[in-house]
Structure 1
Amino acid sequence: MEWFQALTTLALGGLFGGILAFSALFAPLVFTKLPMEQAGPFIRAVFPWYYLYVIVFGFLSAIFAGLAGAGFWVLSSSAVVALASVYTRQVLMLQINELRDRELAGDVAAGAEFKSKHRLSVIINSVQLLLAGAALVCWAWN
């Protein structure tokens, strides 16, 4: 049981820390330090790996939390974070990329839809950060 408690702590810390570091540090730095013609393609190449990281750590957190006997909120929050990343990586990100390409090619309507879908991805990521943080705090108080 102690191993699963330690693994849960590490997985939740990795989940929350990874989302926070990417959202608050990495992505903003890419767009402030690189020229836009390099920043866009670079961040597009990084996003699938970021979402895969969140998927893996989210599911590991949920599995280890379940094996450690954590409460419902820790387990379910971690699983929701992982599942949201599956959707974002496999569906939403593909739509966003396609819309951005169309916008850059001159499709004005695609530009408006791109902004809407991008806003949705930012909202999902923000909720994931809050859920991962809440799961970590709930786990720490157990």
Structure 2
Amino acid sequence: MSVAALLMTALLFGGMVLFSFGFAAFLLKTLPTDVARASIRRAFPYFYLFVLIVAAVAGALLWPVDRGSSLLMAMIAITVIPARELLMPAINLATDQGNAALFKKLHGFSVTIGLAHIVINGYVLTRFL
């Protein structure tokens, strides 16, 4: 397979894992809660943009060599759009309104989407073997 496609796929996997399990957890453990939450809130639009762009580029690079993997990466790129444009603002609104139950539900859905993206991306990486 294409080295560029492998590198982009690996970049996306590493970036998603680092952001999800490293960056957010680090901020929440090291900063005051209100500062950590505000920082994470500001970072998420850029994270989603990173996922969108890198998944789309990886998908395009994979198209000539592995169409199945290309479609999976395109699926990640496409599904991150409603997460960024609809789900993230709804989570922020629930937080701002103090609606803990709605926040928990929406955040859980967001985490599920993120984990699905990581699993799908990991599967694509295994196809390089």
TM-score class normalised by the smaller sequence: over 0.9
1:92 matched to 2:87: yes
CA distance in 1, matches of 2:49, 2:67: 25
Instruction: Note the C-alpha offset of 1:111.
Output: 1.8
CA distance in 2, matches of 1:76, 1:86: 16
Instruction: Specify the alignment match of 1:42 in structure 2.
Output: 39
Instruction: Specify the alignment match of 1:106 in structure 2.
Output: none
Instruction: Specify the alignment match of 1:52 in structure 2.
Output: 49
Q: Which moved more, 1:82-91 or 1:43-52?
A: 82-91
1:83 matched to 2:78: yes
CA distance in 1, matches of 2:123, 2:53: 18
Alignment gaps of 5+ in structure 2 = none
1:61 matched to 2:58: yes
2:7 pairs, out of 4, 7, 10, with 10
Paired residues, number: 129
CA distance in 1, matches of 2:76, 2:38: 25
Amino acid at match of 1:16: F
CA distance in 2, matches of 1:121, 1:9: 26
CA distance in 1, matches of 2:90, 2:40: 15
Alignment gaps of 5+ in structure 1 = 104-109
Instruction: Specify the alignment match of 2:20 in structure 1.
Output: 23
CA distance in 2, matches of 1:52, 1:117: 20
CA distance in 1, matches of 2:100, 2:22: 26
Amino acid at match of 1:34: L
Instruction: Specify the alignment match of 1:70 in structure 2.
Output: 66
RMSD: 1.2
CA distance in 1, matches of 2:26, 2:42: 15
Q: TM-score, normalised by structure 2?
A: 0.95
Instruction: Note the C-alpha offset of 1:77.
Output: 1.5
Q: Percent identity?
A: 28
CA distance in 2, matches of 1:32, 1:77: 34
CA distance in 2, matches of 1:118, 1:85: 14
1:125 pairs, out of 81, 91, 114, with 114
CA distance in 2, matches of 1:45, 1:9: 29
